Structures are given as structure tokens and as C-alpha cells.
């Protein structure tokens, strides 16, 4: 499949092969464990190459999953994509496909917390040495490389605190030493950052977030380049990774509107963040498109846009005080995850998930996801919440 089509066209046509759709618009939901063969010869033919997209056994997927894989592969400019039952499973599956006992790996200190939990937990137990690095390290990451360094696990911008990493510098350093680079690309989506085009080996999405887009599925994807795809695939098969066709169908449906949704998330978030920046209760806005966000210049150079997720640092007060802000909001609901059409808010303390950098805030950090609502209504809701917060801390 050619990568020459423009993104909006890829979003509409990705994965919709005629022999998968059979004359309707969307690849249907094929629910399957057993697939049937007409003859032994046919069985042998279809099982010969497990990566060929031929019906063989439900765990290896059906056209419903293949259509989604193909659409994501095209958007990420990769060799192939594996699907997983969650974003976390995609992260662990990708890391496990590239490391072995005795290896040393580097993980960004701003990583999504379950990535840290897996690395410091299971991965360490398996004899892989895990070291964290400052997300703003850039090309100096080379100083942390050892003879047995196998992989750098990045995430840009960082979860909760939004530091933007110099991926080209990190990738260039890693390439010199034949070290793999894996990127958690969930925040930017395949539309606003293409890590594989920059030279990274695997790009991961919590499809749960923007690709799904409606807060109703759990799904992950890992897209690999030529040098890593076979290993990624082999590991996913050995681990028995698969995903439900119903969730894959919903994710494919989400892809069709990803660009139009993201445009509104981006615009709305920029409006609300600009307003927040001027509020007396807010010390800082941590949003890559804002100049004071660490790594903003790198975001400006490397990313094609920003999405709806950012944080604010409140001025004064402590985490228990954030209840005054978040408990009685009318439109912003409180909950984990993000990337759906709805606005969310979540007090989130970065202090507990750091190893080599120290988080210093003027007050508590509150993470905000801006949905597709009208921004005047969202701002009115937040204004009332900030007023309650100020009263509570007596400022």
C-alpha cells in the first residue's frame, strides 16, 4: 500500500480492502475462534505464513482486526502493526519483543506510570536492568549508554508534566550504538507525530484514547519498522495477544473521524489553556504549545499539532484542596483515561513517579482533557471551580 496519499484520505480509506468489506462500507465484525478449511491442502496453505492475512485461527485475527492494523500501519509509515487488549499490553509487548535477560534499558522519567511499574517490576525480575533518564536529556543520553544497553523507551510529551523530548537527538545517539528506540505516541496520535519516519523502531498507541475517541474501548497498538516487526509479531503470538473484533471495529470507526475530532480538541484546548494561564489561581500551564512548557521549541519543530490533554499547576494549596475545584464541576467529570469526546479533570501528583528528576510545583498539578463541548461553557465551569479553590485555600 502506498504511503503517498494525504492523511485525510488515509483516514477514510485505510484498511477497507474489497475482499474484507465485500461490497459494504465498513469491514464487518467477524467473531471467530475456529476458522474452517475446505481441504487439508487449504489448511496447510493458510497456515504456512502466520503473518499472511489469511483466516487461520481467531487468535491470529480476522479481517476486522487486519483492517485496523493496516490503517494504523499506513498512518504510522511502518512495516506492520500488532494489536493488544490495552495500551499497557502494547507497551509491555513491544519492550519484551526487544530485550532479553542481562540487557540494560533506559526509560524516560516522565513515563506513563504503568510503564514504570512494569519496568521496575516484571522486567527487573526477569533480569533486565532498568535506568531512568531526564526527559530533557536530548543527545546527552549517549553518556548513559553501556555495552549492554538495548533499548530506549520514550514518551513525548511526558505523562502529567508534558516535557517534550528531543527525539531526533535521542534517535541519532541510539542509532550510533545500534540501540532500539520505542516511542509511546499516544498524546500526539499518528497525525501529529510520526516517530518511525524520524527513525524510531516502534510507535505505540493506547488506541483506548483518541483513536477510539469515545471512551468505550480498551485497545493498544504497536507499529514496527522493518528491522523490528518480525520480533514484535513473534512475541505477540507467543504471549497470545489478541483483541476483540468488536473493539477493533469501533477503533476503525474512530479512525475515520480522527482528524476532524483532533482539530476541535486542539482548538478548544488552546482556548481554555490560554484562559487558564491568566487566572490568578493558576501558576503555570503545562501545554507543549505554550512557550514556558519545557521542550516547547522542540514541539514546535517536530510536531504537526497539539491535542486536548494538558496540565495546570495551581498557585498554593495542596492536593486535598483540589477537591474544592474538581468535586462540583458541572461539565468536567473526574476519571482516568482521556481522548474521548468529553472533558475530564484529574488531580495528579507527579512526585510519586520520578526517579532521577524532582518535580517542583507551586501547588498541586491538575490534568485536564478538553473535549468537544463549547469552550465558553467549559471556561464558565472552570471559573466557578477556581473561585471555590481560592476560597478554600484562603488566598
Ligand X SMILES: *Cc1c(COP(=O)(O)O)cnc(C)c1O
Q: Which residues are catalytic?
A: 59, 112, 184, 209
From 4-12, 86-94, 101-109, 351-359, give the range in contact with ligand X by CB under 6 A. 86-94
Among 124-132, 205-213, 323-331, 361-369, the segment contacting ligand X (CB under 6 A): 205-213
Q: What is the CA radius of gyration of the chain?
A: 22
Secondary structure (3-state) at 104: strand
Cβ burial of 359 (10 Å; 0-12, 13-18, 19+) is middle
Closer residue to ligand X in complex, CB, 206/345: 206
Question: Closest-CB residue for ligand X?
Answer: 87
Residue span binding ligand X (CB under 6 A) among the ranges 65-73, 80-88, 166-174, 349-357? 80-88
Q: Select 108 or 225, whichever has its Cβ closest to ligand X.
A: 108
The torsion angle over the Cα atoms of residues 345, 83, 211 and 27, rounded to 10 degrees, is -140
Rounded to a whole number of angstroms, the minimum distance from the CB of residue 150 to ligand X is: 21
Nearest-approach distance from CB 320 to ligand X, in angstroms: 25
Q: Does position 192 bind ligand X by CB under 6 A?
A: no
Nearest to 214 by CA among 252, 263, 162, 159: 252
Q: Does 211 bind ligand X (CB under 6 A)?
A: no
Among 71, 130, 136, 218, binds ligand X (CB under 6 A): 218
DSSP assignment string, 116-146: HHHIIIIIHHTT-EEEEE-TT-GGGGGGG--
Q: Which stretch binds ligand X (CB under 6 A): 83-91, 122-130, 313-321, 340-348?
A: 83-91
Burial environment of residue 253 by CB neighbours within 10 A (0 to 12, 13 to 18, 19 or more): middle
Task: State the greatest distance between any 2 C-alpha atoms of the chain, in Å, as a whole number.
Answer: 79
Which residues in 140-179 contact ligand X (CB under 6 A)?
A: 155, 159
User: Which residue, 155 or 302, is less far from ligand X as judged by CB?
Assistant: 155
**Residue in 68, 160, 182, 206 binding ligand X, rule: CB under 6 A:** 206
User: Which residues are paired to 80 by β-bridges?
Assistant: 224
329-368 residues in contact with ligand X (CB under 6 A) are 337
What is the rounded CA–CA span in Å between residue 94 and residue 77? Answer: 17
Cβ of residue 325: shortest distance to ligand X, in angstroms?
22
Q: Which of 81, 119, 189, 208 binds ligand X (CB under 6 A)?
A: 208
Q: Is the Cβ–Cβ distance between 80 and 224 less than 8 Å?
A: yes
Residues in Cβ contact with 33 at an 8 Å cutoff, skipping those fewer than 6 apart:
57, 58, 59
Residue 269 within binding range of ligand X, rule CB under 6 A:
no
CB 95, min distance to ligand X, A:
12
Give the residue from 315, 307, 324 showing the smallest Cα distance to 365: 315
State the nearest-atom distance from the C-beta of 208 to ligand X, in Å.
3
Sign of the CA dihedral with 357 first, then 362, 363, and 366 last:
negative
Interaction site with ligand X (CB under 6 A): 86-88, 112, 155, 159, 184, 186, 206, 208-209, 218, 220, 337
Amino acid at each position: 500500500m502506498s504511503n503517498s496519499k494525504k492523511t485525510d484520505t488515509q483516514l477514510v480509506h485505510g484498511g477497507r480492502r474489497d475482499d474484507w468489506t465485500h461490497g459494504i462500507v465498513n469491514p464487518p465484525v467477524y467473531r471467530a475462534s475456529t476458522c474452517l478449511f475446505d481441504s487439508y491442502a487449504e489448511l496447510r496453505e493458510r497456515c504456512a505464513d502466520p503473518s499472511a492475512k489469511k483466516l487461520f485461527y481467531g487468535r491470529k485475527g480476522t479481517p476486522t482486526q487486519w483492517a485496523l492494523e493496516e490503517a494504523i500501519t499506513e498512518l504510522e509509515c511502518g512495516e506492520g502493526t500488532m494489536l493488544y487488549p490495552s495500551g499497557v499490553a502494547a507497551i509491555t509487548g513491544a519492550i519484551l519483543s526487544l530485550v532479553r535477560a542481562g540487557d540494560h534499558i533506559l526509560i524516560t522519567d516522565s513515563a506513563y506510570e504503568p510503564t514504570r511499574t512494569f519496568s521496575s517490576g516484571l522486567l527487573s525480575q526477569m533480569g533486565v536492568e532498568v535506568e531512568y533518564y531526564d526527559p530533557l536529556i536530548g543527545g546527552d543520553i549517549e553518556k548513559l549508554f553501556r555495552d549492554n544497553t538495548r533499548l530506549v523507551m520514550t514518551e513525548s510529551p511526558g505523562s502529567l508534566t508534558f516535557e517534550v523530548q528531543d527525539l531526533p537527538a535521542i534517535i541519532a545517539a541510539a542509532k550510533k550504538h545500534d540501540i532500539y528506540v520505542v516511542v509511546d505516541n499516544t498524546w500526539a496520535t499518528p497525525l501529529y507525530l510520526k516517530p518511525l519516519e524520524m527513525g524510531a523502531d516502534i510507535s505505540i498507541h493506547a488506541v483506548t484514547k483518541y483513536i477510539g475517541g469515545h471512551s468505550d474501548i480498551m485497545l493498544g497498538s504497536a507499529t514496527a519498522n522493518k528491522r523490528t516487526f518480525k520480533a514484535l509479531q513473534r512475541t505477540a503470538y507467543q504471549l497470545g495477544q489478541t483483541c476483540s473484533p468488536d473493539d477493533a471495529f469501533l477503533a476503525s470507526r474512530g479512525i475515520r473521524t480522527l482528524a476532524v475530532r483532533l482539530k476541535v480538541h486542539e482548538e478548544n484546548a488552546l482556548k481554555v489553556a490560554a484562559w487558564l494561564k491568566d487566572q490568578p489561581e493558576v501558576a503555570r500551564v503545562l501545554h507543549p504549545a505554550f512557550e514556558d512548557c519545557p521542550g516547547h521549541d522542540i514541539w514546535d519543530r517536530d510536531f504537526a499539532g497539539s491535542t486536548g490533554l494538558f496540565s495546570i499547576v495551581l498557585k498554593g494549596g495542596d492536593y486535598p484542596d483540589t477537591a474544592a475545584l474538581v468535586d462540583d464541576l458541572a461539565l468536567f467529570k473526574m476519571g482516568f483515561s482521556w481522548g474521548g469526546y468529553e472533558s475530564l479533570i484529574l488531580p495528579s501528583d507527579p512526585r510519586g513517579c520520578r526517579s532521577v528528576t524532582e518535580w517542583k510545583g507551586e501547588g498541586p498539578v491538575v490534568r485536564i482533557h478538553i473535549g468537544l463541548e463549547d469552550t465558553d461553557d467549559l471556561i464558565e465551569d472552570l471559573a466557578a471551580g477556581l473561585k471555590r479553590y481560592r476560597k478554600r485555600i484562603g488566598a
